[in-house]
Structure 1
Amino acid sequence: MLKIGKSEVRISMVIKLAGAFCAFLIGAGFATGQEIMQYFTNYGLAKGIGVMVVNCLLGAWTAAAIMNLGNESKDEQGLNSYKNLCGKYVGAFLSWFIPIFMFLTLVIMIAGFGSTLNQLFGTPNWVGCLVFAVVVTAVVLLGLARVIDTIGFIGPAIIIVTMIMAIGVLATKGIDLANWENYINTHDVLLASSSWFMSGVLYALWNIVMCLPFMSAMGSKAQNKTEVITGTVLGNVLFTVGTLFLVLAEGSQIDIVGEMSIPALTMAQELSPIFGVVYAIILVLAIFTTAVPLMWSVSSRLAKEKTVKFAVICLIIAVLGFFGGQLPFERLINYIYPLIGYVGFIEFAFIIWRDIKLIRGMKSGEPLPAHDEEEKKTAEK
């Protein structure tokens, strides 16, 4: 137990919040290195660091706001997170609209696994996509949605292994900044946005769109706001440090990984065939721990778990995801992720409005309005 100011903070909960936050952000995009290429590396070192700063600051702010919301509402399942943040009508719209983007992200996970197997063993993409779709569907049908509660341990492990790989690349290969800048200026590289600043904004807002129910549920487990803020800050710092090392490694090997679908795996294989296998396992875990909650979240929104309807929906999602996974992995990230980020502006506007009301309430001494009808009734009693 640690005391910060007047609040007592459980170190174990801070680590759990930080780890779970990182883990949910790390899927096929980050662990493959492709997401990092498009949002950071392909802008060059100076602008890439600028993207990190924007993402870290905005990400910490929005994540803390959402986790605080969950802490206040005690919505342990995150079921009312959209309504709690955006109100009855906009919240209801988003609660049905966001699962579409969750499905599209699941498609990216399936495509990422297909590309990973293709790069490792030369198998056709459709083979990896089929295997992954079947395994994820089987796990969801078994009712193992609790995988969400275990990813807090896998997230930091992925970042640590990624950092080891990145440090190994930098130590053995060095870095040529002039070559890095020349490559991105002379090649048609994929960028999340034409503006590096907007890239940082979109990256942070993509996170709150996809993670809102999860982060709200995680916030409900904290005993006070200090734990929430400390956990989100630590998670963002850990994620940013991991990103920095991966960006530097990709920039140092830009000639080799610039055209690869899975740049991080390429760098791991360049270091050592054995490390390449180890990283492939970590990569599969990263994709899997994101894909399962995504499929479960979409399916459970439409039907009750462990029912025939739920099973049918899972199978339909798997089939659609398999066919969607045949599209180029890097192109899927380039089209879908920024689009999700733009949708995040809706939630961001409500976060700003909520913070304004919070500041006004602190000045006037009035509490924030209750989050739902039950809480209002409780307050009236």
Structure 2
Amino acid sequence: MKKEYVTIALAYVGIIVGAGLSSGQDILQYFLSFGKIGILGVILLGVLNVVFGKIMLTFGSYYQSNSHDEVFSKISHPIINKIIDFTLISGSFIMGFVMVAGAGSNIHQQFGLPSWAGALICTMLIVAVAFLNFEKIIKVLGVFTPVIIAIIILVTAYTFIGKKYDFYQLDTVAKTIKPAVSNIWVSVINYYSLCAITAVSMAFVLGGSVVRITAARK
């Protein structure tokens, strides 16, 4: 059971860490732009992801769902269910375009290739992964999470070990960044909503792949 819930956890994190988070742009615009208090926003975002991630995975396991519709049809009014269904499908469709565009820009910035080439490579990878069975998709998603964690640790160590910073000055510089919204707490809710729209459909299916609810909660 231990390996099962660790695999599911890594896959879930892989879902919510999109192009914006992995590039750092979301952290800059939604949190760092508010200065030191933005750190509290990041912590609160983490708490929300943990709490509601547990709820979504548990619901998926309880109903043994193969899609978000199977869960929402049980816990919401039919009209609300249709609204949620439309929102999630359209939201995921739009986010897909954003991710592909981000891949194109990234490849262009790093290697000088045309943006369309990076977008095409990303699209081909998406199609290839979509044809895998569910267990393999979970493994693909889970592979990236340890890599991200390792890179974060290495970059953090490189940034802080043997170096000193004037955090008051950094706080002032951070506040020159244009924020995505005008209030840190609204920013947290706004950004978590984006995470939830991206994650909830897959979270229900991930939970549905777990027979034991205790494993889903862990």
Q: TM-score, normalised by structure 1?
A: 0.51
Q: Which has the higher contact order (CA 8 A, sep 6+)?
A: 2
Contact 2:19 2:99 in 1 (8 A): yes
- Of residues 125, 129, 134, the one that matches 2:119 is 129
Structure 1 match to 2:203: 215
Structure-1 separation of matches of 2:78 and 2:95? 26
In the TM superposition, 1:1-381 aligns within 5 A as 10-45=1-36, 47-133=37-123, 135-136=124-125, 138-139=127-128, 143-144=131-132, 146=134, 148-150=137-139, 151-171=141-161, 173-185=163-175, 187=176, 189-230=177-218
Structure-1 separation of matches of 2:131 and 2:214? 34
Residues 1:181 and 1:92: Cα distance change in structure 2 (over 3 Å): same
1:88 to partner: Cα distance: 1.9
Residues 1:206 and 1:71: Cα distance change in structure 2 (over 3 Å): same
Residues 1:202 and 1:77: Cα distance change in structure 2 (over 3 Å): same
Contact 1:71 1:225 in 2 (8 A): yes
What secondary structure, in the 3-state scheme, does the structure 1 residue paired with 2:161 have? helix
Contact 2:49 2:192 in 1 (8 A): yes
Tell me which amino acid in the other structure corresponds to 2:138: D
Tell me which amino acid in the other structure corresponds to 1:139: A
Structure-1 separation of matches of 2:201 and 2:127? 23
1:173 to partner: Cα distance: 4.8
1:136 to partner: Cα distance: 3.7
Per-residue CA deviation, residues 95-146 of structure 1 (Å, 9 max, x unaligned), is 123221112111221121122122212334344234433x246526x72364
Structure 2 match to 1:315: none
1:77 to partner: Cα distance: 4.2
Larger gyration radius, structure 1 or structure 2: 1
What secondary structure, in the 3-state scheme, does the structure 1 residue paired with 2:66 have? coil
Residues 1:228 and 1:116: Cα distance change in structure 2 (over 3 Å): same
Give ranges in structure 1 of 5+ residues lacking alignment: 1-9, 231-381
Aligned residues: 216
Contact 1:83 1:90 in 2 (8 A): no
Structure-2 separation of matches of 1:51 and 1:178? 18
Residues 1:64 and 1:85: Cα distance change in structure 2 (over 3 Å): farther
1:69 to partner: Cα distance: 1.2
Per-residue CA deviation, residues 325-345 of structure 1 (Å, 9 max, x unaligned), is xxxxxxxxxxxxxxxxxxxxx
Structure-2 separation of matches of 1:165 and 1:49? 18
Contact 2:64 2:211 in 1 (8 A): no
Q: TM-score, normalised by structure 2?
A: 0.85
Per-residue CA deviation, residues 172-198 of structure 1 (Å, 9 max, x unaligned), is 55433122122133x3x2323211112
Structure-1 separation of matches of 2:171 and 2:216? 39
Tell me which amino acid in the other structure corresponds to 2:191: Y
Tell me which amino acid in the other structure corresponds to 2:193: L
Residues 1:160 and 1:87: Cα distance change in structure 2 (over 3 Å): farther
1:222 to partner: Cα distance: 3.2
